[in-house]
Amino acid sequence: MANKLNIGRIVKEAREAAGLSWYMVAKLAGVSPHTVRRIEDGENIPNVAILEKLADALDCRLVVEFEALKKR
């Protein structure tokens, strides 16, 4: 499972690849720039609704996977 830093790194890399600032991503996603910064810095774990908004703003596809940890 991705931790806070991995999620933040992924968001930051997508934002930089899109050539967008924190402010622009926040505006497109309908969240505050502070929220984007905290996610990228690993200070905040976004919920799925926020991740969907960020993915849309960054023209990315959000994929959520569940994997069995062990067989029962």
Give, for all 72 residues of the chain, the pLDDT tens digit. 456 569 999 999 999 999 999 999 999 999 999 999 999 999 999 999 999 999 999 999 998 877 788 876
Which tokens hold the place of 10?
Answer: 């992924």
Instruction: Flag whether 24 is in a domain.
Output: yes
Is 68 among the domain residues?
Answer: no
Residue 66 lies in a domain: no
Q: Tell me, what's the pLDDT at 9?
A: 95
Residue 70, in any domain of the structure = no
Which pair of tokens denotes residue 6? 């991995």
- What pLDDT, on the 0 to 100 scale, is given for residue 72? 66
pLDDT number for residue 1: 46
Cβ–Cβ contacts within 10 Å for residue 5, how many? 12
Query: What is the number of structural domains in the chain?
Result: 1
Range of the domain at 12: 4-57
Asked whether the beta carbons of 52 and 62 are under 8 A apart, the reply is yes
- Three-state SS for 54? helix
69 inside domain: no
Model's pTM, two decimal places? 0.83
> Could you tell me if residue 22 is inside a domain?
yes
CATH number of the structural domain spanning residue 23: 1.10.260.40
User: What was the pLDDT predicted at 2?
Assistant: 56
